[in-house]
Amino acid sequence: MVPKFLHSIACAAFLAAGLASSAALSAAPSVDSGTCGEETPCELENGEYFIHLPQTLPQIRKSGEPLGAIFYLHGHRGKALNAVRNKSFQRMADELGVAFVAVQGVDGTWSFPTAPRNLRDEAVFFDAVLEDLSGRFGVDRNRTLLSGFSSGGFMTWYLACADSGRFAGYAPIAGAFWEPLPHDCPTEPPYLFHVHGTADTVVPLEGRWLGGGKWKQGDVSQSFDVWRRQSGLSGTAPQTETDGNLKCERWQPVTGILELCLHDGGHSVQAGWIRRAWEHLAEMKGWS
């Protein structure tokens, strides 16, 4: 998957302080952003991210509550800057009292295992981002949700497969595994909340061929089968519910959750779907 990581010289002091004690950060986190935040990127050796901090941050700090974060991965050729500028995403973060972190893909792309190009070791890079956020902003690594749309959804699935514990939960939208699908994943099932449109023609539920038949997006149901099979849930009936415009099916492994929610629209993303995933995850994890 992708990069190696070294902080910029300007961030090194902050990282060193963050590494001293994750427990201390949780108890009395500090925000020392240096020169990045909002529309100014936080730069690492192999990439960058943007962060919007909630308006309620002073109250969160005063209460001693951990600072959680929702991560968002853009679609193909997308820009993280556009995501951090999105007023719906900002409002979601402000109302939930969490940081909103928009990560930039190399040349607007993500290097998951079956991607056409491998430009960065994404697993290593995301570990670097998490560490930087902990040291620089006091983000609690145990209170994180990774969401991604379209190509960012593909990346979200592969990061969940590689290490489901890297983030507390995952909320991919309109993107799953590619062919050939992994036979299994090396870690326990994730807390995964997937949203997809039944009228999506860009990333159809059944997937589609790209590049003149060189690559194929995977079938969403078959992607879920990887986890269901691994969890001994193949052939079991899911719990069902309707939540607004979403019709959801949920499987309950011993640990984690596997949820597929469908809407009748096309290739789209809504902040409300990501917020719903955060709220369900918070309830399951017992976060205040």
Q: Report the alpha-carbon distance of residue 184 to residue 186 in Å, rounded.
A: 7
pTM reported for the whole predicted model: 0.88
DSSP state of 174: S
Whether 17 contacts 59, CB under 8 Å: no
Torsion angle, alpha carbons of 83, 80, 280, 129, to 10: -150
**Residue located via tokens 């995964």:** 192
Q: What is the pLDDT of residues 100-121, one digit of tens each?
A: 999 999 999 999 999 999 999 9
What's the Cα-to-Cα distance from 43 to each of 50, 73, 75, 220, rounded to whole Å?
9, 16, 20, 34
Residue 24 has a pLDDT of 34
Report which residue type is found at 105. Answer: G
Crossing angle, helix 151-162 and helix 122-137, to 10 degrees? 90
Q: pLDDT value at position 35? A: 84
Instruction: Give pLDDT, residue 1.
Output: 41
Q: How far apart are CA 126 and CA 101, in angstroms?
A: 12
Q: Which helix (H) or strand (E) holds 160?
A: helix 151-162
Helix (H, G, I), strand (E, B) or coil at 197: strand
pLDDT number for residue 22: 36
Paired residues of 251 in beta bridges: 258
Rounded-to-integer distance, Cα 236 and Cα 251, Å: 8
- pLDDT attached to residue 4: 36
Which residue matches tokens 């929702």? 70
Low-confidence ranges of the chain (pLDDT < 70): 1-34, 288
pLDDT of residue 52: 98
Sign of the C-alpha dihedral computed for residues 62, 131, 55 and 164 taken in this order: negative
